[in-house]
Amino acid sequence: GAGVSQSPSNKVTEKGKDVELRCDPISGHTALYWYRQSLGQGLEFLIYFQGNSAPDKSGLPSDRFSAERTGGSVSTLTIQRTQQEDSAVYLCASSPGTDLTDTQYFGPGTRLTVL
């Protein structure tokens, strides 16, 4: 079946602009995660959605970052007033439910470059 998809695959933007990154999880998966992968910081958790519950935003690095999940499916990560340190690969993952042992399935990522 279809895996997690993300768009765009690459995004180049200028410092100060806003960007939106999209994630389509695996159909039927109730949990959705965003991570960031950068050379300096490695893989970092950003935000977690589970069903209709309030998201866990504990990993968001600043208030310029926000995310929403519409209809329990597609998610959008928004970065306002982008900075050069936001340059990274943004990975989305989904999992079937809330069990700690559930596998998280990752998308191919969006590579963001802030000039």
Partner 1 sequence: AQSVTQLGSHVSVSEGALVLLRCNYSSSVPPYLFWYVQYPNQGLQLLLKYTSAATLVKGINGFEAEFKKSETSFHLTKPSAHMSDAAEYFCAVVGSARQLTFGSGTQLTVLP
Binding site for partner 1 (CB under 8 A): 4, 31, 33, 35, 42-43, 45, 48, 50, 56, 58-59, 91, 93, 95, 98, 100-101, 103-109
Interatomic CA distance for residues 114 and 18, integer angstroms: 10
Pick 45 or 87: Cβ nearer partner 1:
45
Q: How far is the CB of 50 from partner 1 (least distance, A)?
A: 7
Of residues 15 and 52, the one with the C-beta less far from partner 1 = 52
| Nearest residue (CB) to partner 1, 14 versus 40 | 40
CB 34 within 8 A of CB 56: no
Q: Which three-class secondary structure state does DSSP give residue 89?
A: strand
Please give the Cα distance from 70 to 60 (Å, whole number): 19
Backbone conformation region of residue 68, classed left if phi is above 0, alpha if psi is from -120 to 50, else beta: beta
Other Cβ atoms within 10 Å of 35 Cβ, number: 21
To the nearest whole angstrom, how small is the minimum distance from the Cβ of residue 81 to partner 1?
25
What is the smallest separation between the CB atom of 26 and partner 1, expressed in angstroms?
12
Between residues 27 and 58, which has the closer beta carbon with respect to partner 1? 58
